[in-house]
Structures are given as structure tokens and as C-alpha cells.
Structure 1
Amino acid sequence: MAFAALAPAHADIQITGTRVIYPADESEVTVQVDNNGRGPRLLQVWTDTGDANETAASSNAPFLVTPPMSRLEPGKGQALRLMFNGADVPKDRESVYWLNVLEIPPRPKGKEGGDNFLQFAVRTRIKIFYRPQGLHGAPLESIGQLTWRLVREGSAASLECTNPTAYNVSFAEVRAEHATREAMPSGGMCPAFGRAAFPVQGEPGKGAGTVLFTAINDYGGFVESRASYSE
């Protein structure tokens, strides 16, 4: 039986920032990536529309990324140029896409790899927020305009968020304040002019209550907030 040498899969390529804000009046936006590992990495970069199964060949996302493939030496960095292709997208709200960075390690040399080995390619995905000009309000203001209600379906409960603003609001955590069981962190996003549901761990109690949530701002910082919800 042949044995494969298995090393832990981890990302040596680090992206500066946790999201990309693309103002519509910019011709391009740059994203910095750095190789913090000990060996070179081959990078493949593409965007997608939200389907993680989309590839560089099948994606319909309205962006061009250059260079689409590159070799990055250890300790070096690379600036990725992200350009909008002028596609017809909503002008009254933010649109959300994803940036994919796939890092492929080199084949092990000599005895380290042998004839049999497993090689892992690690992919990192971060959101791209395409922000049209002239949107009403401001991203931070949208956090305080969210409304919440508790929705029950059988024994399960969820907190439903309604976002009446033109900006998407991302969360690191959403939970009911007085749930009877320790709440597990539940993240996600409430889309512009849309709704999203977040499962409640445990029993939040009957009637109105308080939701505690941690929103994420344009810079990846956390904004802790609380609001009332109805049932």
C-alpha cells in the first residue's frame, strides 16, 4: 500500500483587508496580497457572483482582475488590479460579489515528497461591495435603521432582519439577549432593501426582546449594537 505525506493545509497568502469597497466613480481598485510562507506560491485570481462553485472560466461577475495568474515569492507582495467592466447593475443599491484568491504550493522536492504525496490548493474568498454614486445615507447609518422580529417555525426560532437602506450590512455575530441556552456566534449579511434570517440558539422567551449584534464596517472593524425585536 502506498502512503501519502499529508501536511496541514493553511493559507500562506494573506489578503490585506477583509472586504473590498469598489466606488463606482473609480476606474480600478487595488488589493494587496502577500506571501508570508517559506516557499513560492502560484496564484490564480477571479471573481464570482456569490456561487462558490463558479470558476474563472464560468464566472459572470462584472470584473476583470489582473494579473489573473502569477508566481509570488516568499516574503514578497503583489498588487491585484480590480476593474469594473461596465455591466448593467443596480444603481439604487450596493451589489455584492466575491474575490477569489487560490494559492497552489510547489511540488515537494526529494525525500520530502517521495513518489506519493497530497498537495492542497487553498482558496480565500472575500466580498466585493460595488457602491454606485449618489446613494442615500451612509454605510454606518444603515446599522441603526435595521428592524428586527422574531419568527417561529415549530420549535425553531430565528431573528429576521429587514434592511430599508441601500447598503448591505454584514455581521460577525447575531444573537437574542435572553436566550435560555448559550448562543453560538451566527454571522451573515442583511442585503440592501432586503431581509435575512439568523437562527436563535435556545429559547428567547415570549414576546418582544433585545437582539445583540456585531456589524462589520468598511474597514473590517466591529461595531457592537443592540436593538429591540418584536414577535
Structure 2
Amino acid sequence: MSYLKVNTKLALTGLMALLINALPVNAGVVLSSTRVIYEQSLHEKTIKAVNRGSSPVLIQTWIDDGRENTPPDQLNVPFMVTPPVGRLDPKHEQIIKITALNGNLPKDRESVYWLNVMEIPAKAKNTTNVNILQVAFRTRIKVFWRPEGLKSTYPEAMEKLQWKLTKDSGKYVATASNTSPFYISLSKADVTNKSQSWKIKVKMIPPFSKETLEIEKMPNSDVGTEIKYVAIGEQGNMQEFKQSVN
């Protein structure tokens, strides 16, 4: 198994100085997509980083395996990201390339990783004897590795997510069962009856698994008749579904 050993350290180290009179700052780098679907048949996958700010920045890129606070040099992931570090001038864009290595990833289901793009601002000018706070911004999006030959499609998986209402420790909970080989990302979900609705605390549902989700403020005596949920599509679009429950 070949894995990429990321040898660059977080460029943030030693850059941020916490001082008293902070100057306002805003993230200027945006990505062209909110998620990456990497199909096995592809040689590489690309995404654009655009600097919409008025100053040059340094960007650092890496992929993590879910341990978002682990330094890049301590991660072993089956992907290479280029460029790992680079300057991005204002109103310019940078193509970020993700290349899969020979990793022993599951062939019967998706795998998920996270692409990190760290934006580090240029050092402020004319700040002698002025206390400032410089902040590095990080954008983190999901990368779905999709092997060939999966049965069904992601749109079918979203629609066929199965829901159940049960009691756990005297309170109603919602169980979402995903019988597909895809990760299903939920944006929101609610239990409803004829006159009321209660919010479900959602999360991503892994392939071939079920998740028990808390329902906020739902009385023990009330049983919903329907669950409405919003899943995030392959292009980051929101799609709404509903399902009757017992």
C-alpha cells in the first residue's frame, strides 16, 4: 500500500500573534465547490481556489482522514495534493490537483476524506508599534472516493434513506438507516404531525449503517407521522424528501 507522507508542517505555526488591538480581517479565498467526488476511473480531480481579497495570501493544502486537528506531517492518506503550498495573488485563482495513490480502499462502498485549504494573510504593513491580530483561515470540505461498479446511484440512496421513530431512555429518537454504498450528508430533518414539527439533530450517515439521532424538544406523548429531510446532492445542491413513519 502506497501512502502519501505529508512532510510540510502547518504554515500557521509561529505566524499568529495574539495582541491587544485587533484589526478586522475576513477570509478572501473561496473554493469552486463545496465537495469533491473522486471517481476511481479518474486520473486526478481538480478544484479552484480563488482569492477574492485585495492582498496576496499564502495557501497550504492537505487532506486529512477525519482527524482535523492532526498536523499534516502526522497523517498517512492515499492522496497527493498539489501544490502543497503556494502564493495566491488577489483576483487570481489556483488549480488544486488531487491525485489518488495506490491505497487499499474498500471496493464495495465510498470512502471519505477531507481537503483542507489554509489561507495565511500577508504581513500587515506600517504596523510599527501597533498591536494587531493576524488570523489564518481554513476551509475544509469532504472528498468522497467512489470505487467503480457500485450498485445503485447516489440520488437513489438519498431517496431510499429509511427512517424509524423509537424510544430510548423514555425519549423519542429518530433512526436513519442507509442501506446504500454511499455516504449520505443530511442538511436538516424534522419530525412532523398535522400541527407541529420537531427538529432532528442530523449528521452524515455512512454506507451500510444506521445512526440514532436526537429529536429536540419532542414530548414523550407525541408521535410524528412524517419525517421531512434535506440531503446534500453531488453538486452541493439541497434536495428535500419526506417519508411516513409509524
Residue 175 of structure 1 is matched in structure 2 by 190
Residue 150 of structure 1 is matched in structure 2 by 165
Residue 33 of structure 1 is matched in structure 2 by 49
Instruction: Choose the corresponding residue for 1:202, options 183, 202, 217.
Output: 217
The normalised TM-score by structure 2 is 0.85
Q: Deviations over 1:148-196 (max 9, x none)?
A: 1124333544311110001111111112124997645744211111122
SS in 2 for 1:57: helix
Task: Note if 1:123 corresponds to 2:150.
Answer: no
Matched length: 228
Task: Note if 1:189 corresponds to 2:189.
Answer: no
Task: Note if 1:222 corresponds to 2:223.
Answer: no
Q: Distance in 1 between matches of 2:217 and 2:32?
A: 37
Q: Distance in 2 between matches of 1:151 and 1:114?
A: 62
Q: Distance in 2 between matches of 1:8 and 1:153?
A: 46
Q: Distance in 1 between matches of 2:174 and 2:194?
A: 12
Task: Note if 1:45 corresponds to 2:61.
Answer: yes
Give the superposed CA RMSD.
2.2
Q: List gaps (5 residues or longer) in structure 1.
A: none
Alignment of 1:6-25 (within 5 A): 6-25=22-41
Task: Note if 1:138 corresponds to 2:153.
Answer: yes
Going from structure 1 to structure 2, the CA distance change for 1:37 and 1:148 (only over 3 Å counts) comes to same
Residue 81 of structure 1 is matched in structure 2 by 97
2:52 counterpart letter in structure 1 = N
What is the CA-CA distance between 1:58 and the residue it aligns to? 1.2
1:14 counterpart letter in structure 2 = V
Instruction: Choose the corresponding residue for 1:109, options 119, 125, 135.
Output: 125
Q: Distance in 1 between matches of 2:114 and 2:139?
A: 10
Q: Distance in 2 between matches of 1:130 and 1:10?
A: 32
SS in 2 for 1:97: strand
Q: List gaps (5 residues or longer) in structure 2.
A: 1-17
Does structure 1 retain, via aligned residues, the 8 Å contact 2:191–2:224?
A: no
SS in 2 for 1:149: strand
Give the share of equivalent positions with the same residue, in percent: 32
Going from structure 1 to structure 2, the CA distance change for 1:183 and 1:52 (only over 3 Å counts) comes to farther
SS in 2 for 1:47: strand
Q: Distance in 2 between matches of 1:169 and 1:7?
A: 40
Does structure 1 retain, via aligned residues, the 8 Å contact 2:191–2:200?
A: no
What is the CA-CA distance between 1:3 and the residue it aligns to? 5.8
State which drifts further: 50-59 or 159-168.
50-59
Does structure 2 retain, via aligned residues, the 8 Å contact 1:173–1:213?
A: yes
Going from structure 1 to structure 2, the CA distance change for 1:116 and 1:181 (only over 3 Å counts) comes to farther
